Structure 1
Amino acid sequence: MSISRYIDSIPFIESMKGYRLGFFKKDLIAGLTIGLIAVPLSMALAINSGVAPQYGLYTAIVAGFFIAICGGSRFNISGPTAAFVIILQPITNQYGLVGLLTASFLAGIILLLMGLLRLGRMIFFVPQSVVTGFSMGIAVVIALTQLPDFFGAIPTVSGTDFISRLQGIAQVITQASWADVFLGCTTLAGMLIFPKILKGFPPHLFVLLLAVALGALLSYFGLEFRTIYSVFSYTLDGKEYVGIPAILPALSLPWTDVTGSSFLSLKMIQDLLPLSFTIALLGAIESLLCAVVADGMTDTHHKPNAELVGQGIGNIIAPFFGGFAATGALARTATSIRAGAKTPLAAIIHSLFVLMVLLLFTPFLNRLPMASLAALLLVVAWGMADFRYFKGIFPMMPRQDKLVLFTCLSLTIIFDMVIAVMIGMLLACALFMRRVAKLTTIDLLSDEETVGRQRVNIDKSFALEYRITGPFFFGVARKAIDSMARLSTIGGSTKVVIIYLQSVPFIDLSGLMAFKLMIEHIQSKGMVVILSGLNNDVKKTLGKAGLSPKKNAGIYWANTVDEAAEKAMECYVMFTMIK
């Protein structure tokens, strides 16, 4: 993808042509609406990823801004998402903030390369069963990780594996703070009830304001609970402060800490690169699926390769300002469209609103109860699991797809998403190849089915006709070799074998070797082979293997059934004269 071609395809530039004041009003309302949702959600996702809440705000500000300008979707709202939590949290636990930002930077480079290599359409080859499986698995893991904050306790059992999480949950339930539980339950109830009362209005701000007010009331009566102010702190000019800073994100190298010390090394890159590939793959899937949903809601068409380039640029720049991995957020995008968004300017306004909140309303953010943010993510996890969608598609799913789905779901919960996606994709590919292999058949035509021989009235003992249907690839090579057992009985008066290949779209190396052995076996018995109905790709492949009339005197190519019949008749006359 050339730079000029990419620039011409950016929806932001296209949408600014003929932009009107009426569009700006709608974009403004949509941007402010999404901003209200993005502020608490970005903070909660940052906390769940293992870093301070301000880094989630930095991600929404910087990545959201640049992806909106450079991306290939007109409506995508990008920022931190729940899907990344399961990957980012182990990185933070092992490598800290430096490792998280470096992995996000590497993922941005990978996304950029994917876009430049025009791999946007390839993402849709990931089966729906894999996507649904790991999405539901991520939802379960997110819900489990929110329980400590929801109950207001810090688990003494550390670890990100399934057993450690269960042990930690068992402990926090016994150490629950009833003030935190009350705030969490109130927030959870508000997030479920208020959308039904205030239709079309995002409940996040109202519910969290209520949580802060209830928290102040509990504090007045001497009850303690965990807030951002009491849990997090930051260092500025050598002094330590509580809460989150009301300052602009500072420019610094992602692989350096607050002292300026660099942690970048070849070993660190080798360790983080596989995780970065997973982040990039998941980010590509999430953003492109989000764009597809947006297209369906607005009757527009996104540009997948440009979207990957935009996601790459955003994820490359964001770590220099403290932002971590970002991608298209489906729920925020859908809400933006419902709020009237017309152009990517709505996403830009959303980022600027988050920046304004960071600078002006930090005292309010510091008072947010941790239990309320945990309740917010529990609602996100429930929406991500989408049990209504699962209930609708499950009865119609083939048995093999159910196996893939539950494999990805189980592996995501018990181990991690990297293993789940790898095994899920391998299993899906194996099942797909098994299905395709069943479609490929090699059949000897009976007297009633013969085509060419009947047209020229050739003696049935003189010519045999085979039909191959389906792709001739490594999955059916064994079937082709087994068919030679039937050919071994050919002999006597049989002099011609016609093989119809009209329904063979391609032949790979393994299939070619098996096919060549089959042809050589036929020719070893002194018979002529007529190959009929070859497409250009198959002709090219067979030609390179020496299975063409130019390189093999015992092989004929025919474009049609009639031409194959004529070739067979010529062979019949020739053999009759010789006899």
Structure 2
Amino acid sequence: MASKERFVPVFFEVIRNYSLALFKKDLFAGITVGIVAVPLALAFAIASGATPSQGIFTAVIAGFFISFLGGSRYQIGGPTGAFVIIIYGIIAQHGYDGLIIATIMAGIILICLGIARVGSFIKFIPYPVTTGFTAGIGVVIFSSQIKDFLGLTYKETSPEFIDKWISIFSNLSTINISSAAIGAGTVIIILIIRKMSTNIPSHVVAIVISTAACFLLGLNAETIGDRFGTINAVFPSFTVPEVTIEKIRALFPAAITIALLAGIESLLSAVVADGMTGSHHKSNTELIGQGAANILSGFFGCIPATGAIARTATNVRAGGVTPLSGITHAVFLCLFILFFSFLIEIIPMAALAGVLLVVSVDMMGIKNMANLLSSPKSDVVVLLTTFILTIVIDLTAAVQVGVVLAALLFMKRMSDVTSMGKINFDVSEKTAKNIADPDATSNKEIPEGVEVYEINGPFFFGVADMLINTLEHIGKTPKVFILRMRNVPAIDATGEHALENFYNTCKKAGTQLVLSGVNPAPYATLKKMHFIEMIGEENITNHIDKALIRTREILKELE
């Protein structure tokens, strides 16, 4: 029963003691965040290749269920910048139906991750990887908005990063002065308001002022209505896409990327909220809520969504105290698009581009990137590889390669911190360390014909080759080989296999292998993999003294 309660959404826990005072706080915060979410939902959807209404309804549907079924009191969900390039790529390659299928698949993956209780492990994705692809996304978004920011008029022939910039420079002569002025004004207003106060929704104010200026001054700049026509202000219908095995196979890598991005960003957002409020989110429940929200978002023809860090922080600053503030934000957005969609149509595209340029620069995290460049070379390699692949290839490849490269470097580091070597038996050369350690081998009487080696550190696959050819390096074949493992906290299957091969090598050479100082965790692994049956229980000891007693017994038997 207790395990089931861990998956209970936070909403159902806090609603038991809900009050009118709490509702007033959540209502104000929800409306505030809803206002902030309007331009961001529009901008992210348009940049992704979707329609404005799909952006808003994603924030409505996914935002509602992320708050209703999630594991955080403060999380606000909706479209985010992290998804822009992956959505754009899926739509370009597989069409919008492909995006819907990938979104639903990602939702299923997130639910499986939550049920498998891996929410606490997602945070172990290396920081250089998340920084690299986030900064890369920022660069790509920045590049994609220059055309609208300057009001350039040309037909894009390729979505590739380099081709995009070639097209931009080749068509600078088509710049629209009005659009450029609106875009620049939007950026300036955002930056000024940020310096004045963090409590003022700078994106919203900038959009309102830029739109009003464009409308009142009659500036010749393209608007959302000019590009997309009348905004579809009808709530989307529930639709089941046509799914085939071929489509699932083709879209699986993209679905994995969406799921990873949604999981990483939502949990990072929840951690930010915890830091601001002192609360604690339920990571696995949050993943399940994110999964359910994306499945429903897909079935209603919307785009992927996740927890949005900026909107969640706004919710906290506005006084939100329960998931009802997120639900209120979704309801506000729904009412806004149903009854005030005409206001969306007059927003200049250059103003939205200005908002996204600021967002993209924030995502680049130039200061964080600069700091990481002074990190160890291995981290810099992971950072730059992920960053460059995100820009030049795509986000799916960047995440996959980045995680694999980080894992390989982790293996290398694990092998570096684990050592194995022969113990010095010369009592006359006792060090202060050995004198302080009563179990030091130099403090023991080692019989003739016995070799003692010690492993220090985890005995994983990265260090398993340390045992190879050990006997050959010794020279004279010993009668007994004692392998001390007191400083081995864990051993994996590869380490056990190496140990098994080493035992067989000793056996062929006529050497008896004895293990000393085997800790409980490695012992359990060796027992589970039947190594103890092979070597004999009597040859596995938990202390060097017992290992030496067993050694003398073996030597006596050999006489």
Could you say which TM-score interval applies, normalised by the shorter chain?
A: over 0.9
Distance 1:542 1:127, change over 3 A: same
- Secondary structure at the residue paired with 1:564? helix
- Cα gap change, 1:500/1:308 in structure 2, threshold over 3 Å: closer, same or farther? same
Give the SS at the match of 1:119.
coil
Deviation sequence 1:84-111 (CA, Å, 0-9, x none):
0010001122333322222212211111
Superposed displacement of residue 544, structure 1: 5.8
Q: What does residue 345 of structure 2 align with?
A: 366
Residues 152-163 of structure 1 mapped to structure 2, 5 A cutoff: 152-163=151-162
Q: Provide the residue aligned with 1:145 in structure 2.
A: 144
Do the aligned partners of 1:183 and 1:211 also contact (CA within 8 Å) in 2?
yes
My pick for the range that moved more, 328-337 or 316-325, is: 316-325
* 1:559-574 correspondence to structure 2 within 5 Å: 559-574=542-557
Q: 1:572, 1:456 → 2: CA distance? A: 17
Residue 343 (1) aligns with residue 331 (2)? no
Could you report, residue by residue, the CA deviation over 1:405-446 in whole angstroms, capped at 9, with x for unpaired residues? 011111111111111111111111111111111122221101
- Answering whether residue 395 of structure 2 is matched by residue 417 of structure 1, we say yes
Q: In the alignment, is the contact (CA less than 8 A) between 1:501 and 1:531 conserved in 2?
A: yes
C-alpha separation between the residues in 2 aligned to 1:458 and 1:6?
A: 55
Q: Deviations over 1:107-162 (max 9, x none)?
A: 11111111122221221221000000000000000000011111113432322222
More deviation in 110-119 or 69-78? 110-119
Q: Does 1:270 align with 2:246?
A: no
Conserved 8 A contact 1:105-1:254: no
Match of 1:79 in 2: 78
The answer to whether the 8 Å contact 2:74/2:323 transfers is yes
Give the fraction of aligned pairs with identical amino acids, expressed as a percent. 38
Q: Does 1:557 align with 2:540?
A: yes
Task: Quote the offset at 1:172 in angstroms.
Answer: 4.0
Structure 1 gaps of 5+ residues are: 233-241, 256-262
Match of 2:31 in 1: 32
Report if the CA contact (8 A) 1:60-1:79 is conserved: yes
TM-score by length of 2: 0.93
Deviations 1:300-329 (A, max 9, x none): 111111001000111111223232100000
Aligned to 1:23: 22
Contact 2:456 2:487 in 1 (8 A): yes
Q: 2:463 aligns with which of 470, 476, 480?
A: 476
Give the 5 Å matches for 1:132-211.
132-211=131-210
- Letter matched to residue 457 of structure 1: E
* Native 8 Å contact 1:442 1:483 kept in 2: no
**Offset at 1:462?**
3.1
| 3-state SS in 1 of match to 2:540 | strand
Specify whether residues 366 and 553 from structure 1 end up closer, same or farther in structure 2 by C-alpha distance, changes over 3 A only.
closer
User: 1:369/1:522 Cα in 2 relative to 1: closer, same or farther (>3 Å)?
Assistant: same
Match of 1:434 in 2: 412
Contact 1:456 1:569 in 2 (8 A): no
Question: CA 1:107 to 1:546, structure 2 compared with 1: closer, same or farther past 3 Å?
Answer: closer
- Look up the SS of the partner of 1:465 in the other structure: strand
Partner of 2:265: 286
Q: Aligned to 1:486, what secondary structure does the other structure show?
A: helix
Which residue of 522, 546, 555 maps to 1:538?
522
Q: Where does residue 5 of structure 1 map in the other structure?
A: 5
Contact 2:211 2:351 in 1 (8 A): no
- How many pairs align? 549
SS class of match (2:513)? strand
Question: 1:293 & 1:452 partners in 2: Cα distance?
Answer: 47
* TM-score normalised by the chain length of structure 1: 0.89
Change (3 A) 1:553 1:75: closer
Query: Residues 485, 574 of structure 1: CA spacing in aligned structure 2 closer, same or farther, 3 A cutoff?
Result: closer
Distance 1:513 1:199, change over 3 A: closer
Alignment counterpart, residue 279 of structure 2, candidates 300, 307, 312: 300
5+ residue gaps in structure 2? none
Q: Work out the CA distance in 2 between the residues paired with 1:424 and 1:218.
A: 49
> Quick one: distance in 2 between partners of 1:526 and 1:276?
56
Look up the match of 2:237: 251
| Local SS of the residue matching 1:558 | coil
Contact 1:109 1:316 (C-alpha < 8 Å) held by counterparts: yes
Out of 286, 306, 321, the residue aligned to residue 300 of structure 2 is 321
50 and 568 in structure 1: CA distance in 2 versus 1, 3 angstrom threshold: same
Equivalent residue letter for 1:490: K
Q: Supply the AA of the counterpart residue of 1:380.
A: V
CA distance in 1, matches of 2:201, 2:469: 64
Moved more, 167-176 or 177-186: 167-176
Picking from 223, 226, 236, the partner of 2:222 is 226
Distance 2:497 2:245 in 1: 42
| 1:453 CA displacement | 6.4
CA 56–453 in structure 1, closer or farther in 2 if over 3 Å, else same: closer
Is the Cα contact below 8 Å between 1:412 and 1:420 reproduced in 2? yes
Q: Give the Cα separation in 1 of the matches to 2:417 and 2:118.
A: 28
Q: Does 1:463 align with 2:467?
A: no
1:395-410 alignment, distance < 5 Å? 395=374, 397-410=375-388
Change (3 A) 1:289 1:453: closer
Deviation of the 1:467 alpha carbon: 0.5
Mapped to 1, the partners of 2:335 and 2:328 lie a distance apart of 10
Contact 1:68 1:347 in 2 (8 A): yes
| Residue equivalent to 1:101 | 100
- Pair 471,375 (structure 1): closer, same or farther in 2 beyond 3 Å: same
SS across alignment from 2:325: helix
Partners of 1:453 and 1:154 in 2: CA distance: 79
Distance change in 2, residues 1:326/1:562 (3 Å): same
Q: Aligned partners of 2:534, 2:202: CA distance in 1, in Å? A: 75
User: Is the CA contact 2:273–2:312 (under 8 Å) kept in the aligned structure 1?
Assistant: yes
CA contact (8 A) 1:529 1:555 kept: no
Q: Is the 8 A contact 1:104 1:324 kept in 2?
A: yes
Do 2:372 and 2:380's aligned partners in 1 also have CA atoms closer than 8 Å?
A: no
Alignment partner of 2:335 out of 344, 356, 369: 356
Which residue identity does 2:510 align to in structure 1? G
